[in-house]
Structure 1
Amino acid sequence: MADFEKQLRDYRLTTAEILYHMPDHPALLQTYVWQDYDMAPRFPVLQQFLDFWESSLDGRLHSVKVASTEIITPSDMRFTEALKTLH
């Protein structure tokens, strides 16, 4: 599905800041920033990514901060009433 089509289906641009423990030095935290289109408030795409992380990667998750916003809002998208060409 194209990004614009996702936005029309109520997907929102979602950014997650993921803090995780470094595998070789568990006392140290590393940051990973993830961004994709997802559906608030359940965030199934992010949840699928975090499930993959926990099952396949060595760095144990510490915390996840999520920010999400609509890209297209009713005031941003309007149909024009006329098309004019200037010569």
Structure 2
Amino acid sequence: MKHKWLAVVLIALLIALQARLWFGKNSIADYQEMQSSITDMQQQNANLRQRNALLKADINDLELGIDSMEERARNELGLIKEGETFYRILPKE
């Protein structure tokens, strides 16, 4: 009789622990969700690192030379030098 109660208590404890493992706080589902979140954040960090590297390269180019400033003024602002002739070639429609 004593062994039956011990077995019932142990089985109940096992069921309670399994329920917590699968459905409780910090369960397997929470772990998998957290892993997914970590993967997303790592991808975002990689994208931001790449963006920062490009911005640093732009900053270095701007700090180092007038050529880069001239190129940027031509491309982004459409500026031309004095004495130059500007031609715009439009595609056929």
TM range (shorter): under 0.3
Alignment TM-score, normalising by the size of structure 2:
0.21
Greater strand share, structure number: 1
The structure with higher relative contact order (CA 8 Å, sep 6+) is: 1
